[in-house]
Chain A
Amino acid sequence: MRKNIFTLFLFIAVTSTLMAQNKVFTKSGIISFYSNTSLEKIEAVNKKVLAVIDAANNKIEFALLIKGFEFEKALMQEHFNENYLESDKYPKAVFKGSFVKTDAAPVIFTNNTTQTWEITGNLTMHGVTKLIKLAATIVVKNQVISAAGTFKVLLSDYNIKIPAVVANNINKEIKINITLPSLQEMK
């Protein structure tokens, strides 16, 4: 009887901990991309990505401001905003996706674990919405939840036109990395 009560107590304690962390978020996610051709290296980073993981429903969403991307060279940043992404007209990029269940397991934030996931969802950017796939990991270490992922974007899919004169300076397909450090419980 005593053992049963202890087991029940332990079950409630564990369940409530997991339930409390069903929805986690950050306002300080990082998205970076890198284009490397023989003519030019282009690197940009956005450190203010808003992201929410809803573990109970296996959902993830993130949003960012296009003007939040920072480049080493001012001219690149100006061209990126004014000519390529047209950030005055399309100020945000938004992703809404789901964790694909590979083994029917839900996303659970169990301490000291690393989970590998495939995420599929719609990325809206530059006025275009397309289905993309991300390869992602969720790491829980010392009670701190963090996530990371990568995906590729074909510029032509999003109507991003690169002028012929610099077409060889920029990769046609861009690899994008996302890092969500220290996800906090959503109250």
Chain B
Amino acid sequence: MVIVCLVVVAFGIYAYKEFMRKPADLTKSDAAERILASDLYSLYSKYEDSANKKYTGKIIEVTGSVVEIENQQDTLLTIFLGDTLQTGRISCLIEKKQTVTAKNITLGDVVKLKGICTGYLMDVEMNRCVTVK
């Protein structure tokens, strides 16, 4: 009887914690893949299906040159990584808590960003990006 009660309580605690679980903190999560921005864009633009299987939904660390910065009302900061030879870019929406740190990034910098790859539209899209030292 005691064991049954303990199992029920343990399950209850697990279920509650699981229900309340927040999305992972990317500053403390390891990247599943590390890749250059130009290579990631090439893979998505040429082989979208296989790139989706390998990268979409995963934490990816991308290295590349900053080709554009879009800052909307200091809350939505997007840093675009790529190179001058490609039209498409890696569009990295910066995690809200990281916007202050990421604001120091300027055009032409070579940076390393870690985020969740969400797929390919006009650019390869990354969400919740954080800077990597």
Contact = CB atoms under 8 A, between A and B. Distances in A.
Interface of A: 27-28, 47-48, 50, 63-65, 67-68, 70-75, 77, 81, 87-88, 91-92, 181-182
11 contacts: A27-B122, A28-B76, A28-B78, A48-B118, A48-B127, A65-B121, A68-B125, A73-B19, A73-B22, A88-B52, A91-B119
Contact of A181 (B72, B116, B123): B72
A179 to B, nearest CB: 11
Interface string B37-77: 00000000000000010001100000000000010100010
Given A28-B78, A48-B127, A67-B56, A74 B122 contact: no
B123 A27 contact: yes
- Main SS class of interface, A: strand
Contacts of B56: 67, 88, 91
B21 interface: yes
Interface of B: 18-24, 52, 56-57, 70, 72, 76, 78, 91, 93, 116, 118-123, 125, 127-128
